[in-house]
Every structure is written in structure tokens, then in C-alpha cells.
Structure 1
Amino acid sequence: MRAWVVRAGREGEREQAALDEGLAIAGWTGLGDLTDSRWRDDIRERVAAAYPDEGARVISNWTGQLYRFRHEIQVGDLLVLPLTSGNLAIGRADGGYAYRDSAPADLRHVRHIDWLVKDVPRAAVRQDLLDSLGSLLTVFELSRYNGAERIAELVSSGTDPGRPDADTFAAGLTSPAKLYDAVSKRSPGDPLKLSNRDFLSVWNAARRYSTVVDQIEQDLSLLGLTTTPAFTEGNLDSVITVLPLGDEPDRERTSAITRSGIQVEEEAEQQPVAYLVSNLDAANRPPESVRVGDSLQSAMTLMILRKYAQLPVLDEEDRLRGVVSWESIGRARMSNPSADLAEATAKAREADRSDDLLDWIGEIYQTGYVFVRDHDLKVCGLVTAADLALQFRARVRPFVLIEEIEQRLRRVVDAHIPLDAMRSVVKGRRPDSVHSAADLSFGAYKHLLKNDENWRRLGWAADRDLFLNWLEACRGFRNDVMHFSPDPLTDDQLAPVQGMLDLLRSLDPNS
């Protein structure tokens, strides 16, 4: 048994038909019947003929999705349909591919599905599986993290059991008090280690917002615990050790930390959360490298095979001795055509994983990269200008989405709702301080549009209760992103605001 996701269109336009008729429905309205398409190449030819303006990559991608829908989904497999309500519908395939000539163009490619449940809340699904659902593909398999078995368990019990390789011990640490108990029961030679992700879940947190960090630091101080490295460092999958800090010395006059043999770095009290170099995923992935004494040919071959612009040159202790790049090779061979690796090795800059990322942006911009060392001075990562661009996109995208939602709400409210009505929902300040929708708080829109007359004035053909629920989810999201966090937002965490923005664009396409 396998588990698949088959979406119901970019804006869920096929959702109701899928649920009402017991179907999984693929789009591709320009494509005809695939019943006789036995091979992938057959489907590729039909896709290319139906969409002649698309490039080879798009054709290949669409071919793969349609091949899965036509051939790989088998009777008995589980199907997941993400719903516009935020819930999930889960069913079982009970028929093969069919093409319906007489159906509307976007409802012709179908598979019959026995929908088993139609209202699984996302809150019942663990984050790793939710992340797997966050693909832009219309048809894809949930092949990671034991997806099929977990989807089956969601159907039978309504609970996601999590990954079979997940840290079940960490999953039981559901409160700071339980964390303390677990740490206190450990021997110095067997300290508690867990990922930042599992550590945050003790406080029911998914990201390191400044408010979350403040609360955790206060609780750790009260419990007499500390972490090394600091839980504010690294990414969410980085492993930290939780140690007792406040216990009294034993008969040998040593602390539990000293007895554990683990070096705990001294930190300034109330160290502020910052964008550290270690917060980038690339800073936690040891790069491929060459060693002192290797041939220059081996370095060049690896660079060509991997399409690398540079490689670190490491000694036997994994410490950086320099960098070899196409530029350094060119410089070395201009003076000596038979230059070896040592002659082509140039000086390299090295950031500590605990450094503030902002301090290194200029260097990365100038050179295109910087190597990262860990607390043992070993190379643990390579940060490039491309990594900075991805980080910038991840940080800016939520604000851009929220800003467009607010701008669209302001325009439509200013155009259709009288000023007196806007002033009537103002709380805590003078109503005459409101001169337009721009003076309203984000939360005021919910109260404004609860009014029957105000909603009718908009003339929107949308479900008001559902709209207001999603608007409230966007308000909570907006408040959260205003608190600093070094952790990127997943597509699933962005789903409420992206969905609201798509809806607003549909309801008021000219604004």
C-alpha cells in the first residue's frame, strides 16, 4: 500500500466535485484520454502535443505527474486531498484511471475513490508529514517518513503516530517539569540529547520567536538547566545536550557538568537571539573537500562533476588549510603550467558558526562564499551568496504576503463601506481618529465584516464564516511573524496567508 496526494486545483476548484462524486481528479484540460497510453513516452508525446509552448522541463514534470495518476496509483492505495478549509480528506482508491468525455473539461481525468474521512484537522498531523504535504505538485507520493502507514493510522484512530525512527523518548517530554525529571535521572556519562525541534516542542513551540526564547530561558533558569550548544544556535534539526546547571557539588566538589566531561561554552546572560551563521542549513552541511597532499587533478575533477566553484582544502583533522577555486587554479597555472594543489591553494576566510550572520554578509557578497567552522575548529559548512538569497526570500516572503492582503482589504473596504461603519468597530481610541481603512488594525476587519450589511456591501460570493475564520488565522500569523525568529517558515505554515491572498485576488481581481 502506498499513499498519494492528489490536489483539487490551485484554488480547490475541483474539491466539491471530488468529494461529492467520490473521485480524485487531475486537471490538464487541454489533454485528451490517456486510457491507451501504456508507457511514459506515450504520455510525454501527448503532453507535448497538447501544450506546444511549454519547455522540456515543464513537459517532463507534467508527464511524471500524469504517469503516476494513470499508472502508479493502484487499487487499495490511500489518497489525501488537502481541503480549502485547512482539513484533509483521506480515501482509498477503488478503481483505475477513467476519462469522462461528457464531463466539464477540468473534471475528465479521474480515479474513483472511497472517501473514508473528510474532516481530518491539520492539528492531528505531525509537522514532518505536514511538510511533506506542502508540495506544488498536483499528484505526488507521500514516500517519506513512513507516510502510508501514518495516513492509514489517521483514518483508523484520528492520530498521526509520527515517524517510526522519531525520538519516542523526546515525544514524551511534554512539559518543562518532565524535561527536568528526564535530565535529573540521567547519569553524567549519559546526558540527555535531542534536536532543537524536539526541545522546542516541550514548550509546544515550532519556531524560535523571541518571546518563545525568553520563556524557555526563564524556565531553564528556574529549573537549573542549560543547553550546549545554546538552543538558539543551529537549525531545527541540530542536536543539543541538556545539562543540570544548578545542582550542588558532589563529595569530590565537582558539578554534574564537570563530571559529564562536556564542555559548556560561557555565554553572556540573556544573550539576544540573532541571525547566527549556524542558523543557515548550509552552515550545518559539511562540504565535499580535498585533503592536503591530494592531486590538483582530483580537485578539478570533483569540481567539474559537482559543478562547484571552489573546494576547501582540509588537513587530517578536518581543519581548513585553504581553498582551491577556478580562480586560484588559473592564477597558479599562469606562473607555473604544472602547478600542483599546494600552489593552487589560496587563503580562505572562515566564520565561526556562532558569529552573527550580518557581520559576514559583506564578505560573502565580495567573495561569493565563506567556510564555517564548529566549536572544535573543524569545517562544518559552506555558505554561499545563493544561500543568502534563499534566506532573504524566506524571510521577506511572509511580510510581502501580509502586506498585499492588508492593501487589498483596505482598498475594498474604502470603496464599499462607509466611514461611519469603520469607526463603529474602533476600540480603545477616538472614533474620529479613523479617516480611512488604513487607520484600522488588522483585527478590526473581522468585526467590521461580521456585520450583515457591511458584508452585503462587498458583493462577494464567498462563505463569510469560512472567510472570517481564515482572516483570523492570518491575524494570528501576522502577530507571530512580528516576533523575531531565526527559523524559516514552511509552506504549510504559510498556507493560511497564501490561501487568503489567492481568495482576495479572485474576489477582487481588479484591485
Structure 2
Amino acid sequence: MTGEGRSMHLIGGRRVTVPDLLEAGLLKAGAKLRFERKRIGDTFDATVTAAGRIRLEPDGEEFRSPSRAAMVAAGMRAVDGWRAWVVVDERRLLDAVRQEFLDRAITTAGRQPEDRAPQRVHERLRQARTRADQEDPERITVRELLKLWGATDRGDQVNQIEADLANHGLVTSPGFRAVTLDTLVSLTTPPDEPEETATADVLPATEDDEGGGDLDVRLTVGNLTPLDGVASVGPNSSLEEAITEMLLNDFSQLAVLSGPRNPRGAVTWRSIAQAMHRKPDATVADAIVRAEVVAYDRDLFDVLPTLQQREFVLVTNEGRAVMGIVTTADVARRYGEMATPFFQLGELDQTLRWILRCALDIPTVQPLCGRTIENFDQLAFGDYQRILENKDVWDRLGWPLDRQRFIFRLDRIRQIRNSVMHFHPDPVSEDAVEKLRNFTMLLHRYRGPA
């Protein structure tokens, strides 16, 4: 692969590294770097080695990642090294060198169809970076963000998306992994001096540049609820106001806030009834019960015991403002969305296996699978597809169905199965669930006597 082709590949593949800049001639071995924390008057120096590592001065410790080097040098919990280190001789940020690398790659890219998608992504993120630098960050739903890469969910492409964002010095706030698809996120740059209380989504990745970021396959509290605001009343409100709000929206509980960042608790139907029983002229203040407050990126499994005990939690965004509420009903709904396709696939698997076992024998199946099969329980979805593609096998089933259309749908079922088994936080689409349901009904219709 040529240098130009390799550069183009990087834009759609992984994070740009310091060795990439050396190879492109945009950075020289021995280049001096400086990181100044002007707010506290500290300065740190480093040198770029011939291997593309950042060597801190004067102790000589080396790092592959500019961010890791800056963190260790300054003793900070997190910092974006690309926007911290300045190339001394050129008086520009290491990030500016990275942006030149990306611009060159796009300029020298060919006109092949496979080059156009990375070009579009680059131009789009370049515009977003300009707005972020002007402190006017673009706001976009996670769903629309994924569409830039032609994705409909946070599946196999999520690492590429994070790499492309990182290459342009961008993060999403809140983090796009930990919220719903319809949550609005800002395309912004990490803070120069992150506060110790900042959440992970607004901090730069401290990745090993050759290995990618940290593994993140969690289901978070934010994956269950949009962070678009929460209905609430104040502690001095009347119970009639709270009751009306709950009835209008079919709520079982209602947040009580003195301000977005000052939750006082919540009221529930039970707490309202108890307050009115104790005090006929009770107000919301008399009916408040404790409400657990959790960050949107908190692991859902950590919160389940609290939900089981209290039935709901208030959810805060990256700025610690209460912007949502998650209830046990939300958890049941989400787990139902996850379980439904899983059990449907299990039924499909068992039904297809039963049909083939009744109609065929192992000597017939074995050559079609392309691997050693000792019994029908060893068959997988790919095997079903290869077996049923065989015209002689299909004819033995005696189904009055078009074989090619059936196999085409079976291949789609296989793809859905792979998506379900490779966990990610987005529910299987209703269209996919309907395909599973219809295919199961079809098999039941033609499977023969039980």
C-alpha cells in the first residue's frame, strides 16, 4: 500500500499516531515539545524519539501516547496530550500537525468509491471542529451522528467512529456510548484543564495509540432514558400541582427539585397518600421521599439493587443537572427488548434443527457443512444456510416455497443473530424482531407433524 493510500486508510481505520507524523515528514525525530499549564505556572518538556515515542525530560521516561505522556508529566488524571504539547520550533500544537496529516490524506486520496465515505466524514468532522474551537459546538442526536458512518446502531463500527472523532480532536458530551440514540450530544473539544469532578465523556481518551481505547461494553443508566429534561415540582408546590402533573403524564413518581442541580427527592403516590393522611393540608414538602441520584454513565448493573429497593433513580448529565429518571419499569422494558430476539432465535434454531433431523441424516448433511459434524446438535445458522441452499435437500423437504427467497431471508436472520450475540447497548430494531417472528411462524407452518 502506498503512503498516500495508507494515510487514507488511517482516517477510516484507527487513531493517528506520532509515528504516522514522522513517516509523513510532518514531524522530525528530536523535535522538542513543551506543555505549559499557564494557570498554575508549570512547564514540562519532552522530545520526540526516532521510534515516535514522547520522552519526558529530564527523567527520560517514554510513552507512545501524547496524552499519557502529558498526564504523567503534569500528574493529572486526564489531559488531551495532542492539544497540550506544542512543537517548540514550529510554535504549533501537536494537534495542528495531526490535522495537517489528515488534510493531506484527504487531498491525495483517490476518486474510488471506497475513498468517498472517509472524505465526507473528514469534511464533516473538520467543520464540527471549527465550530468547537469557536465555542459554538454542533449538537446532534446520536442516531444522526452514527449515520455519518452509515451505521444505524452502536455495533461493530463504534471503535472506528471513536477513532475518527479522536483524530479530529473531538469528543461528544455526553458520551455517545452511554446515552440513548435520540439523545442530543455536543461535538466539542476536551477541556484544557479538566476538573477532578468531570465525567469520563468530556475527558480525552488516554489510549495506547496503537491499541485503541478502553474496552467499553457496558449498559449504562443513560442508555435507558433520554437526557432531555425531567418533569418536576418545587418543594413549596402544592400536592394538587404534583398530583395533576403525575396524572397528566401517567407518572408513578415525580422529581422534587429546588433547581436542576439541587434535587430534594421525589414524591410518589404512596408518599402523597401518607402525607395527606397525616396532615390534611399537606404540601409537597410533607410528601418528599429520598431519591438516589446517579450519573448517566453509571453501570446499570451497579444501580439495579437501588432500583429494586426504591423503584426509581434520578439521572444527571455531564454537568450534574438532573435530566432524567429511570424506573424499574424502564429496566423491565429494556431487558424485554434484549430477551425477545434472543429467545426467538433460540426457537428458530431448535425448529430448523428439528426439521433437518426429521428429513435428513448425518451422511447427507456432513459434506454440505464443510466441517466435521457428528450430530445435528452441532449445526449452526451458517450450516442451516449451506444445507438448505442444496437443491436436492430442498426438494426432499417438499415445501411449496421459493428456495432463493427463503435462503435470502435466512441469511438476514443469520446477520440478526450475529448482532444479538455481539452485545451492544442498542435494542434490536422492531423490523428485525418482526422478521424473526414471521420466519418462526413460517417454519411452524411447514415443519410437518410434531
**TM-score of the two chains, using structure 1 as the length reference:** 0.58
Classify the secondary structure of the residue corresponding to 1:242.
Answer: strand
Segments of structure 2 that go 5 or more residues without pairing to the other structure are 1-116, 207-212
1:195 aligns to what? 141
**SS at 1:284 equivalent:** coil
Aligned to 1:156: none
> How far off is 1:391 after superposition?
0.5
Ranges in structure 1 where 5+ consecutive residues have no aligned partner? 1-171, 246-253
> In the alignment, does 2:217 pair up with 1:278?
no
Amino acid at match of 2:124: L
Query: What are the within-5 Å matches in structure 2 for residues 256-405 of structure 1?
Result: 265-266=202-203, 269=206, 270-271=213-214, 272-281=216-225, 283-317=226-260, 319-405=262-348
Query: Segments of 4+ in structure 1 off by > 6 A?
Result: 254-258
Q: Within the alignment, does 1:417 sit opposite 2:360 as a pair?
A: yes
The alpha-carbon deviation at position 439 of structure 1 amounts to 1.0
SS of structure 2 residue aligned to 1:232: helix
Distance between the aligned counterparts of 1:301 and 1:358, measured in 2? 33
- CA 1:244–1:266 in structure 2 vs 1: closer, same or farther (change >3 Å)? closer
2:164 paired with 1:225: no
1:202-258 superposed Cα distances (whole Å, 9 cap, x missing partner)? 22111112x32222223333444322222212111212222356xxxxxxxx96999
Say if 2:417 is the partner of 1:478: yes
Distance verdict in 2 for CA 1:185–1:266, change over 3 Å: closer
Structure 1 residues 126-165: aligned runs within 5 Å = none
- 1:19-168 alignment, distance < 5 Å: none
- In 2, the alpha carbon distance for the partners of 1:435 and 1:297 equals 70
Give the counterpart letter for 1:277 in structure 2. Answer: V
The alignment partner of 1:383 has SS state of strand
Residue in 2 aligned with 1:76?
Answer: none
Query: In the TM superposition, what is the alpha-carbon distance from 1:348 to its structure 2 partner?
Result: 1.4
Aligned pairs for 1:495-506 within 5 A: 495-506=434-445
Residue identity over aligned pairs, in percent, reads 30
SS of residue paired to 1:443: helix
Residues in 1 aligned to 2:239 and 2:194: alpha-carbon distance in whole angstroms = 46
CA change 1:317–1:371 in 2 (3 A) is closer
Q: Is the 8 A contact 1:421 1:448 kept in 2?
A: no
What is the RMSD of the two structures over their aligned residues, measured on CA atoms? 2.9
Displacement after TM superposition at 1:444 (Å): 1.5
Q: Which moved more, 1:226-235 or 1:213-222?
A: 213-222
Cα gap change, 1:294 to 1:256, in 2 (>3 Å)? closer
Report SS of the residue matched to 2:188: strand
Aligned residue for 1:465?
404
Which residue pairs with 2:391 in the alignment? 452
**Which moves more between the two structures, 350-359 or 175-184?**
175-184
CA deviations on 1:26-81 (whole Å, 9 max, x unpaired) are: xxxxxxxxxxxxxxxxxxxxxxxxxxxxxxxxxxxxxxxxxxxxxxxxxxxxxxxx
Q: Aligned residue for 2:180?
A: 235
CA shift in 2, pair 1:510/1:352, >3 Å: farther
The number of residues matched between the two structures is 323
**Deviation for aligned residue 1:509:** 5.8
1:186-213 Cα deviation digits (max 9, x unpaired): 352323332211211122111112x322
> Counterparts of 1:484 and 1:174 in 2: how far apart (Å)?
30
CA contact (8 A) 1:313 1:323 kept: yes
Distance 2:431 2:383 in 1: 26
TM-score relative to the length of structure 2: 0.65
Whichever residue aligns with residue 219 of structure 2, its letter is: Y
1:307 is displaced (CA, Å) by 4.0
Q: CA deviation at 1:300?
A: 3.1
Distance 1:224 1:342 in 2: 47
Shift of 1:278: 0.8
Question: SS where residue 424 of structure 1 aligns?
Answer: helix
Amino acid corresponding to residue 265 of structure 1 in structure 2: V
Task: Using the TM superposition, give the Cα deviation of residue 350 of structure 1 relative to its aligned residue in structure 2, in angstroms.
Answer: 1.5
Instruction: For residue 327 of structure 1, report the CA deviation from its aligned partner.
Output: 2.4
Deviations 1:310-330 (A, max 9, x none): 221111446311212232234
